[in-house]
Structure 1
Amino acid sequence: MMTMTKNRLTQAMREMRGDETQQQMAMELNVSREAVTKYEGGARNIPQDIAQNLMAKHDNPRFALALRSQYTKTGPMWLDGPNVDLHRSAVREKTLEEIKEAYEAIKALSFAQPFQSLSSWHSPQIEKVLEEAVEAITSLEHLVVVVCEEASISYNETWHKHHIQLRSKGYLQ
């Protein structure tokens, strides 16, 4: 049975292809049409070099989220349930709410002592910090995607600029 993550990835790949035929995409990626069919159908994982080529060409943030989720089984997934509102204003408000909740949870927990020395009473607080942080990360990812898509700003370039800043500050080698 195909997982939800794989469904999101294959759906994003089909959306990226748009009106282009599988044969046209295959030629651009230097693979067979059958390979594209298997990627889109979820029968075969998309190799790293193919995924990078697709991101370079299509700059699709939803595809990037789905890739990360498929390969690492971590990170935010694109929210598409019946209760999600992805209008930019709603995403902004939800992000502010989630950041505030994460901030309050982090502020309430002392990080001075090693976690190993904390009592079991602190475990729920630690879990609350992680839960709120993950929710904030998910909302922030959606904010980045929605703004990039609606404002026609490159998702790839946004991350590239961020990575350059991290290197210039000595956070990355």
Structure 2
Amino acid sequence: MLEEDRRKPPERYQLPAAKGMTSGEGFAYNFIIHQFLVRHLPINRTKEIDKAMAIGQFGPALDEVLKRKGETRGTAGAVAHVDASLIGKIVKGTRKPSKEVMASTAKHYDDGQLYIAAAGEVTGGAFAPWLNNVDLHRASVLFKTVEEMKEVLALTSEAPINKTADQLTESDRKIMKRLLMETVEAITALTHFAAVLCKEYSFSWLATWKEHRADLKAKKYMK
């Protein structure tokens, strides 16, 4: 495929303009764009895109949380035992946050967005990205989450899950990859839905996951 052809989306992949999209369509708009770019841009460009999405989310997330709660960078600095200027650099993206700063501020503000952003930073992007340019109204997120889950369930009927890896044909592998990507998209949607529920109805993100872990241990799913 020629370089210029890689940048021109096939007709079946052409996306609607962001303007005029419904709230449900808007939720996954950025994620869909990323998936298109991964499939159609050269490998070196997709690596740059992944790096940009994965790194640097904590600063903007912290800034948003502080504005939402009406607190200053100085307050956040006191929580993290650093000065306000360092918090300012983290927010602006000129300084990478330390694990200690992320852990202390995330725990103090107990905000799902902060925890998700911190996980993205620590893992280098091997976690659900926070979608910071979409409609996160609880109804919109619920609609999109259900849609993503249905897509996973629909694809499971096609997936040759009874086969081992060495038994898969090339066609089988394509189906399994589709199932994997649909699963990841569903995880992203569900993660946002959990964060929105916590925010909207004042549930603790940290306590929710502690309760979940305790339940898994009680069921012997974890040692």
TM class by smaller structure: 0.7 to 0.9
Q: Once superposed, what is the RMSD of the aligned Cα atoms? A: 2.2
- CA spacing shift, 1:37–1:90, aligned 2, 3 Å: closer
Q: By how many angstroms is 1:23 displaced?
A: 3.2
1:49 to 74, 94, 100: 100
Distance (whole Å) between structure 1 residues aligned to residue 63 and residue 82 of structure 2: 16
Distance (whole Å) between structure 1 residues aligned to residue 135 and residue 83 of structure 2: 38
Q: By how many angstroms is 1:6 displaced?
A: 4.4
Task: Specify every segment of 5 or more residues in structure 1 that has no aligned partner in the other structure, as ranges.
Answer: none
**In the alignment, is residue 103 of structure 1 matched against residue 153 of structure 2?**
yes
**In the alignment, is residue 78 of structure 1 matched against residue 78 of structure 2?**
no
Which residue is equivalent to 1:117? 167
SS in 1 for 2:130: coil
Q: By how many angstroms is 1:134 displaced?
A: 0.9
Which residue is equivalent to 2:186? 136
Q: By how many angstroms is 1:171 displaced?
A: 2.3
Task: After superposing the two structures, state which structure 1 stretch, 102-111 or 122-131, moved more.
Answer: 102-111
- CA spacing shift, 1:88–1:39, aligned 2, 3 Å: same
Alignment coverage as a number of residue pairs = 171
1:15 to 64, 77, 84: 64
Which residue is equivalent to 1:164? 214
Task: Specify every segment of 5 or more residues in structure 2 that has no aligned partner in the other structure, as ranges.
Answer: 1-50
Q: By how many angstroms is 1:128 displaced?
A: 0.9
Q: Percent identity over the alignment?
A: 28
Query: Match of 1:150, as an amino acid?
Result: E
SS in 2 for 1:164: helix
Query: Match of 1:143, as an amino acid?
Result: F
- CA spacing shift, 1:85–1:30, aligned 2, 3 Å: closer
Q: By how many angstroms is 1:154 displaced?
A: 1.0
Which residue is equivalent to 1:40? 91
User: Given that residues 99 and 136 in structure 1 are in contact (C-alpha distance below 8 angstroms), is that contact kept between their aligned partners in structure 2?
Assistant: yes
Cα deviation 1:46-85 (Å, max 9, x = unaligned): 222221211211011111121122222122222233xx43
Task: After superposing the two structures, state which structure 1 stretch, 135-144 or 71-80, moved more.
Answer: 71-80
Distance (whole Å) between structure 1 residues aligned to residue 80 and residue 135 of structure 2: 35
